[in-house]
Chains A and B, each alone.
Chain A
Amino acid sequence: MKLQSRSPETPRTEERAAAAALELASVSYNYGQRKALDDVSFAIEPSRFTVLLGLNGAGKTTLFSLVSHLFSPRTGRIRVFGQDIDRNSGQALRRLGIVFQARTLDLDLTVRQNLLYHAALHGIGTRVARQRIDELLHSIDLSDRIEEKVRGLSGGQVRRVEIIRALLHRPSLLLLDEATVGLDIKSRATILKDIRALVERDGISVLWATHLIDEIGQADQVLVLDKGKLVADGPVATILSNTGTETINQAFSKLTGITDMNVRGGRP
């Protein structure tokens, strides 16, 4: 599968270099008395593959909900390519493609109907949308399933359709929240490879949230979230150097205080 967010001949633009793809400044969020995010600040440079690593409950999904404007932060600012998510939510959201942790396709509609719905929610007319849908589905070898109800697809196929849905409106920043949860090893590897290719080929910025250490792979930048706090931010080499460890498993263990890690499975 070769995902394409835009035509291959399209050159990368310098426009993105003007502002960070995503910037969080002192963002905090509470659920009642419980702090889900505590003074989180970081920036993601354009055209980078960034992994947000954290245990379940570390605050990754809350962070995604804030970036995608489902919630507003109690304090702090979030900017997408320089656009404040609260003040210019339309400007910011149109640059975002989002794959949520939970499956968000309508099971009773066909693949095409789901994708057309998403296109409409971004103001893309049917004619353009159909063309893009055909191209994208072809790129993931799912053209023959286009008129099939989502209910009939496998977990991996559903996830791939969700990813191309997130690319339909040609976003500049793609957010993926635990995109490989529930998938077999082959599907996971394929999706990771394709997302990485999107960054390399099309210059899309990616924020990939996961609790699986082995998905860090060739990440340009790693963010480690622990109990709502950002405890590490940088390339793998920098994190290893700062923690005085040799492997990312050891670094993660040191940063989060988790001593019993299933290293083989890569699960903290």
Chain B
Amino acid sequence: MTDATDVAGLPREKWTGFTTSQYIVCLKGILVREWLRYLSQKERFVSSLVRPLLWLFIFAAGFRQVLGVSIIPPYETYVLYEVYITPGLCGMILLFSGMQSSLSMVYDREMGNMRILLVSPFPRWYLLVSKLLAGVGVSLLQVYAFLAIAWFWDVKAPVAGYVMILPALFLAGLMLGALGMLLSSLVKQLENFAGIMNFVIFPMYFASSALYPLWRVQESSPLLYKICLLNPFTYAVELIRFAFYARIEWTSLVVVMAVTLALLGAAILAYNPARGLTVRKQDMGGSQ
């Protein structure tokens, strides 16, 4: 390679863009880095499992007798409360993981690592989508680990459900990761992120169908019911719930896809150096 040629051996002046294999190299690099960071934070894996397992083992056991779940689709018979909340707990893992990824983006920005990503010559949208995919990949692993443990707790689905749930989890993970990415662009400092998490995670989780069926919510509070219907997390949970039984809930699929595209578009715009919200900040530039 000479000075007049690039890495691929092409003349610099005749460079017309990256090849497909270079795009794949870039994606792979971002995925590997996320994976390595995840491996270096073993407590992250443990805590990501402990949280839903506590809900499954303790909360669900306690409320089993209090909260009756009637036969509602996709269930064809009465199910235990543990079975009902399992898709919601999968959603919880994705929700926390999405927020964790965005937290790491804020951290990376403060520590400067984010700049290395953003000054890559690849299109910024591609870098952000790759980063998002890397985060989703890690969270999928967590969900399957949780489902494996839940299986021993007698929370079982048809074998096809464990395959069908993958695209549903992937889509829900993308939506929640994109939300986290958008939030990370809005948050100026790491300290502010904890507050945002409390204002996002808990309302999203509790005002959804994750813990109780919507018909029960409607009975007790019509207003909360309407809020639940406006909450995209509800649709993510229902998408996962139906997929777990090898079925597709089309409304949820459309809503989750639409919200994912909207959030991702907003996040990419927010990270755009010309129009984005980050241009108002000084922290990316460090000292002036």
Contacts and interface: CB of A to CB of B under 8 A. Distances in A.
Interface of A: 6-7, 10-13, 15, 31-32, 36, 56-62, 64-65, 68-72, 86, 89-96, 98, 100-106, 108-109, 113, 116-126, 128, 169-170, 172, 202-203
B187 to A, nearest CB: 17
B251 to A, nearest CB: 39
Contact of A101 (B19, B40, B286): B286
Contacts of A95: 12
B7 A169 contact: yes
B287 A100 contact: no
Interface string B28-64: 1110110011001100000000000000000000000
Interface of B: 1-4, 6-8, 12-13, 15, 17-19, 21-23, 25-26, 28-30, 32-33, 36-37, 40-41, 111-113, 115-123, 127, 273-274, 278-280, 282, 284-288
Given A93-B121, A118-B116, 7 more contacts: A100-B286, A117-B29, A117-B32, A121-B30, A122-B7, A123-B19, A170-B6
Contacts of B113: 104-106
A167 B110 CA distance: 24
Contacts of A10: 1-3
B119 A102 contact: no
Contacts of B116: 104, 117-118, 121
B121 to A, nearest CB: 4
8 contacts: A10-B1, A12-B3, A13-B3, A61-B285, A64-B285, A96-B119, A104-B111, A203-B3
A75 B1 CA distance: 37
A124 B25 contact: yes
B4 A13 contact: yes
Contact of A104 (B2, B30, B112, B122): B112
A86 B17 contact: no
Nearest to B11: A15
Contacts of A202: 3
Nearest to B281: A31
Nearest to B118: A70
Contacts of A120: 25-26, 28-30, 32-33
Interface centre among A7, A56, A90, A203 (most CB of B within 10 A): A90
Given A71-B273, A104-B111, A123 B25 contact: yes
Given A61-B286, A69-B119, A102-B111, A170 B26 contact: no
A123 B1 contact: no
A119 B29 contact: yes
B284 A71 contact: yes
A123 B285 CA distance: 25
Contacts of B15: 91, 94
Given A90-B17, A90-B123, A121-B122, A68 B115 contact: yes
A96 B1 CA distance: 17
A113 B278 CA distance: 28
Contact of B33 (A6, A109, A122, A170): A109
Contacts of B287: 56-57, 61, 101
A202 B116 CA distance: 24
A89 B280 CA distance: 20
Contacts of A104: 111-113, 115-116
A202 to B, nearest CB: 7
A109 B40 contact: yes
B274 A72 contact: yes
Contact of B282 (A11, A31, A68, A121): A31
Contact of B285 (A71, A108, A116, A118): A71
Nearest to A105: B113
A152 B285 CA distance: 26
Nearest to A101: B286
